[in-house]
């Protein structure tokens, strides 16, 4: 029998070969067989993709949402804001900052997707909570193309706008924050409200229980410090869902900078209306955080004195800004209304971009009061048991308690609220 006939017969029975039969073949026949099988598999893959561009995608310039809707939306400010969750001016400013960084080179094979369309697809994905498949049918772009666009644009938003929207800490910035809490929340010497929330994700492959939280779903932790303008002054993103607030805070760069006095917080000063002692600038948080000389939490328990209840009320007035900030954040960017079905690193890029966009839109467009009424799909971080406050932290809290119950620091309505 000729070698060609043997090879032809071998190819027909390729999947029936046993290891023993294959080992008895000569080396030349093995090489020839491998080459034939490789070419056959490659040919089948070529047949499987018969179209370079799917007919639905080929109609993008005629019926795609960007080409049929975007220009019309720009003519109606309210509709544009409802669709993209930002004004036309803010969208144009964002495009101006990102244009040259997200633009792609034209080739002889196909035209590049314009930066305006890339930004529109990304903002719509984050603002609506649509899936990549939904955007594929609406914008007539390939699903994998949309996935790559969203990730690239999210990364560029974080890299380019970070210093503008979440500037590095400075003494001037903290003084502005303290003035906001003193004027709007009647809580002097406070430069921020801190809290953490769970961002829902679909269980990552081979992750075990790292992302599994106490609420029985998988998540990534977002820890943030918020001012009275509901803007994020600091964010820590990506901690495992199993972590609690205090653990995430203690492992964050913000905590180490705070303890090493490298945050440029102002020097301690006396509370308004009294001469001494000087009180340090502090953060306010809930019961999930430990009490220290840099972070105050409410008094725990049920059998509290009137003075302690007054302090808890005054602290809650300051801490509400972080809760309202998360409310605006989750209602503005509705990708957080459902579990994020991407790799954790991709999800972190999305959350970073949304934090930047949150501050950008807040500073340029303001917010709707309806956005702060409810926090949707963001769960609180669990409390860590047996958190003991430091002696200095208790002394500072006692000093604030005495001040809020004095003539100099009280407000007329506080007793009616407890």
pLDDT in tens, 197-234: 999 999 998 888 888 888 888 999 999 999 999 999 99
- Tell me how far apart the alpha carbons of residues 369 and 352 are, in angstroms, rounded to a whole number: 24
Distance of CA 265 to the CA centre of its chain: 26
- Tell me how far apart the alpha carbons of residues 190 and 294 are, in angstroms, rounded to a whole number: 10
DSSP string, 2-59: -HHHHHHHHHHTGGG--HHHHHHS-HHHHHHHHHHHHHHHHHHHHHH---SS-HHHHT
Average pLDDT per block of 10 residues along the chain, 418 residues long: 45 48 61 76 61 76 90 94 94 95 83 92 94 93 93 96 94 94 94 92 89 88 93 92 79 84 88 87 89 90 91 94 92 92 94 96 78 56 51 88 91 89
**In the prediction, which pLDDT does 27 show?**
67
**In the prediction, which pLDDT does 11 show?**
46
pTM of the full structure: 0.82
Q: Which helix (H) or strand (E) holds 379?
A: strand 378-380
Structure tokens at 24: 């008895």
Are 350 and 156 in contact, with CB atoms under 8 Å apart? no
């Amino acid at each position: 029998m000729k070698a060609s006939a043997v090879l032809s017969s071998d190819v027909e029975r390729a999947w029936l070969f046993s290891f023993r039969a294959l080992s008895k073949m000569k080396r030349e026949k093995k090489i020839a067989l491998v080459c034939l099988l490789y070419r056959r598999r490659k040919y089948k893959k070529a047949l499987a993709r018969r179209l370079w561009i799917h007919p639905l995608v080929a109609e993008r310039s005629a019926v795609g949402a960007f080409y049929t809707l975007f220009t019309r939306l720009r003519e109606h400010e309210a509709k544009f804001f409802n669709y993209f969750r930002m004004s036309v001016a803010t969208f144009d400013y964002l495009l101006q900052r990102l244009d040259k960084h997200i633009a792609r080179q034209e080739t002889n094979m196909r035209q590049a997707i314009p930066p305006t369309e890339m930004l529109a697809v990304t903002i719509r994905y984050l603002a609506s909570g649509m899936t990549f498949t939904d955007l594929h049918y609406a914008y007539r772009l390939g699903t994998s193309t949309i996935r790559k666009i969203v990730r690239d644009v999210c990364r560029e938003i974080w890299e380019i706008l970070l210093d503008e929207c979440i500037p590095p800490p400075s003494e001037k910035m903290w003084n502005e924050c303290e003035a906001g809490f003193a004027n709007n929340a009647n809580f002097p010497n406070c430069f921020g409200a801190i809290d953490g929330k769970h961002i829902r994700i679909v269980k990552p492959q081979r992750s075990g229980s790292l992302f599994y939280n106490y609420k029985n779903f998988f998540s990534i932790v977002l820890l943030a410090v918020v001012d009275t303008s509901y803007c994020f002054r600091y964010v820590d993103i990506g901690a495992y869902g199993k972590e609690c607030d205090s653990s995430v805070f203690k492992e964050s760069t913000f905590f180490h900078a705070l303890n090493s006095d490298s945050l440029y917080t102002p020097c301690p000063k006396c509370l308004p209306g009294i001469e001494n002692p000087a009180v340090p600038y502090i953060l306010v948080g809930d019961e999930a955080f430990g009490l220290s000389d840099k972070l105050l939490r409410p008094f725990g328990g049920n059998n509290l004195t009137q003075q302690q209840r007054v302090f808890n009320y005054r602290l809650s007035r300051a801490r509400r800004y972080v809760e309202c900030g998360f409310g605006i954040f989750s209602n503005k960017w509705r990708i957080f209304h459902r579990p994020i079905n991407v790799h954790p690193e991709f999800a972190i890029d999305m959350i970073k971009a949304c934090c930047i966009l949150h501050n950008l839109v807040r500073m340029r467009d303001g917010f709707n009061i309806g956005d702060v009424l409810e926090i949707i799909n963001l769960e609180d971080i669990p409390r860590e048991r047996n958190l003991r406050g430091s002696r200095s932290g208790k002394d500072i809290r006692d000093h604030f308690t005495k001040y809020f119950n004095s003539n100099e620091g009280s407000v007329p309505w506080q007793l009616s609220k407890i």
